[in-house]
Structure 1
Amino acid sequence: MARQNTLFKEAFNRYAAFLTPDAALPSEPEIAAQLGISRSTARAILMRLSDAGIIRWNKRQKIVLRQPTDADLFPEEETNSLHDIIERQFMLRILSDDAQPGMQINELELAREIGAGTTSVREFLIRFSRFGLIEKRPNSHWILKGFTREFALELADVREMFELHSASEFGKLPANHSAWTALTAIKREHQELLDGFDERYRDFSQLDEKFHLLIHGASRNRFIADFYDVISIVFHYHYQWNKAMARERNSRAIAEHLDYIEALQSRDNERIDKACRLHLSSARQTLLQSIPQNTNEEASDS
């Protein structure tokens, strides 16, 4: 229910932003298709608009009475983009303990579980399938190929090639580039996380993703930026899923990040390369340790 509530809030804000007084709204199925959500979520949006006095809803006629204000909208921290919601639920499913190679994923069931439209779910699965974790089958079905040790090693290899290049490019950015300001802010966030580490160490995965995305942005390479999307998804969700030794692992990673940040700020390419390789080596080991043994064994037997 919580994830559907989040999707509802995101879709409500998105739809409310385009409403203008005196406009007639389309049918529930059309609204659902427009927003990429289920009909039940579309109906919930209309009910809230009606309850707030934003629209007049009389059977099939829905007329906008006033433009929504900021007070009508949900706070930004309570919403996520539809893509993020689908991504999160999909990754949590394929990284669960009972997810084994050969497991079927049904578009309709996944869309119903999330509360999203089937078209949005299908688009996400098609985009994700090019990385080899899932494979299309007839009748809206997909097969999980399995997150194997071989896949993890290939992924880590590509990540290291990309990030070593990006880190080197980062060190060459001009002094007035906005990335340096962003890096200083991220360094401060690491230090703040350390100050309340015992209570906040689980927050590290989001900061980790933010830091590495900043580095990859320096490459100004569209292919690196596109492929890093799936790299960050897999690393991020494995960190979330594998909670064993999370406190110690995150403590070590923060220390490595701070050394890495100082190396970047030094603009010394040799120092940057060394700090980058050290951290990526740790990340590789963490990823490999997160792979369930039974998944490896079944994958190797197939």
Structure 2
Amino acid sequence: MARTDERFRTAFNDCLTLIAQHKVGDSLVAETALAERLKVSRTIVRAVLTALCDGGIVRWQGRSKTILRLPVKEDRLPLRGDYVPRDMLERRFLEWVLRFDVPAGTPLNVAKLAKEFSVPPHALQEFLSGLSQSGLVARRPRGGWLLLGFTASYAIELSELRVLLELNAVRKLVHLPKTHAIWPELDALEHQHHDLAERIDTDFHDFSRLDGAFHLALNSVVENRFVSQFQKSISLIFHYHYQWDKRMERHRNEAAIAEHLTLISALKAGDEVAAVAAALAHLRTSKATLLGSLRGNELIPPDAITPVE
């Protein structure tokens, strides 16, 4: 029986409640009696006991079931109603990676992470399988997953891919008919940029969210299933990098607003040459900021910043 089964999870949590009423060293009742108290089959009881052993809560040897430690809140398994949706899982996982709390090359404990991110293990397995295409994680030869991490080389390669994708989007967008939905969206974004520029002294932290919305809008004009696989990861990574390095944050965000407005102006004028030049200038600045943030986190040497061609 899969451990993601709701009956198993409910029985496991109920058993934790039962164990909490005892003391370390006490013995649990026989399997049959435990099945009756938990109102499940003996098959589920055995699965629960196995999980308790794996968690170091119970030692199970034959008919002996000894309590080794009392359960804590973190031991409880999330029920189906407690699971987070996939987009929330993606955001939480990338936030976890981008905090740099876990070094590259760390094996991933799927059971532990599933509990931390409030998802069933099979959902996390599927998510990691999809994420492996972006190069942040990889399958281990003998099973399981390895965190490749957000390294300096990854940042450089991601920036190069971003240039290719975004310049392609800019060249396409500038020639779209004025009836296309992107134009009123750009008008709204332009207004939001001017509004934030006026409040930059106090609200400069708001830029990272606006930056993410702006670049997602640009890339939305390209309908390509392969491109879309990378856009969320790219967007989130470049969204969060504005928060890594607090030095000169207000100045950097004010300058980026100006670069966005220059690009919007060129796009609305239908000037492809000016739009590409504005996009390149902004991407060059963004790459330097990203690598500078990594350098500030001691993940990249001082001379690793290279120009965007």
In the alignment, the residues of structure 1 paired with residue 254 and residue 216 of structure 2 have an alpha-carbon distance, to the nearest angstrom, of 20
Deviation at 1:31, TM superposition (A): 6.2
How far does residue 116 in structure 1 lie from its aligned partner after superposition? Answer: 2.1
Match of 2:216 in 1: 213
Written as runs of structure 1 = structure 2, the 5 A alignment for 1:1-302 is 82-137=85-140, 141-292=144-295, 294-296=298-300
SS in 2 for 1:173: coil
Q: TM-score, normalised by structure 2?
A: 0.66
Question: Structure 2 unaligned runs (5+)?
Answer: 15-37, 40-82, 305-309
Choose between structure 1 and 2 for higher RCO, CA contacts under 8 A separated by at least 6 residues.
1
CA drift at 1:236? 1.8
- Alignment partner of 1:172: what SS? coil
TM-score (norm 1): 0.68
SS at match of 2:119: coil
Give a deviation string over 1:168-194, Cα, whole Å, max 9, x none.
Answer: 110111011111011101111112222
Preserved CA contact (<8 Å) 2:256 2:282:
yes
Are residues 106 and 263 of structure 1, via their aligned partners in 2, closer, same or farther at CA, if it must alter by over 3 Å?
A: same
Q: Who wins on radius of gyration, i.e. which is larger?
A: 2
Aligned to 1:73: none
Q: Secondary structure at the match of 1:130?
A: helix
Query: Whole-Å Cα distance in 1 between the matches of residues 132 and 217 of structure 2?
Result: 25
Which string of whole-angstrom CA distances, capped at 9 and with x for unpartnered residues, describes residues 133-175 of structure 1? Answer: 2122378742222322222111111110111111011011101
Counterpart code for 1:237:
Y
Q: In structure 2, do the counterparts of structure 1 residues 215 and 32 end up closer, same or farther at CA, with 3 Å as the change threshold?
A: farther
Letter of the 1:120 partner, please give it. A
How many positions carry a matched residue from both structures? 232
Greater CA drift, 139-148 or 281-290: 139-148
The residue matched to 1:291 in structure 2 has which SS? helix
Structure 2 Cα separation of the partners of residues 120 and 199 of structure 1: 41
Contact 1:91–1:237, Cα closer than 8 Å, also in 2: no
Q: Deviations over 1:194-243 (max 9, x none)?
A: 23223322121121111111111222333222222221122122223333
Q: CA shift at 1:32, angstroms?
A: 9.2
User: Counterpart amino acid of 1:266?
Assistant: A
Aligned to 2:48: none
Moved more, 114-123 or 163-172: 114-123
Any gaps of 5 or more consecutive residues in structure 1? 1-28, 44-58, 61-79
Query: Cα gap change, 1:155/1:96 in structure 2, threshold over 3 Å: closer, same or farther?
Result: same
Contact kept in structure 2, 1:32 and 1:117, CA below 8 Å: no
Q: What is the aligned-residue identity percentage?
A: 35
Shift of 1:275: 0.7
Letter in 2 for 1:181: P
In 2, Cα distance between the equivalents of 1:101 and 1:84?
23
Q: In structure 2, what is the Cα distance between the partners aligned to 1:174 and 1:32?
A: 55
- Residue type of the alignment partner of 1:193: L
Q: Please tell me whether the aligned partners of residues 98 and 237 of structure 2 are also in contact (alpha carbons under 8 angstroms).
A: no
Across the aligned residues of Structure 1 and Structure 2, the Cα RMSD in angstroms comes to 3.0
Q: 2:31: which partner in 1?
A: none
Note the C-alpha offset of 1:83.
2.2
Q: In 2, Cα distance between the equivalents of 1:111 and 1:229? A: 21
Please give the alpha-carbon distance, in whole angstroms, between the structure 2 residues aligned to 1:81 and 1:135: 23
**1:20 corresponds to which residue?**
none
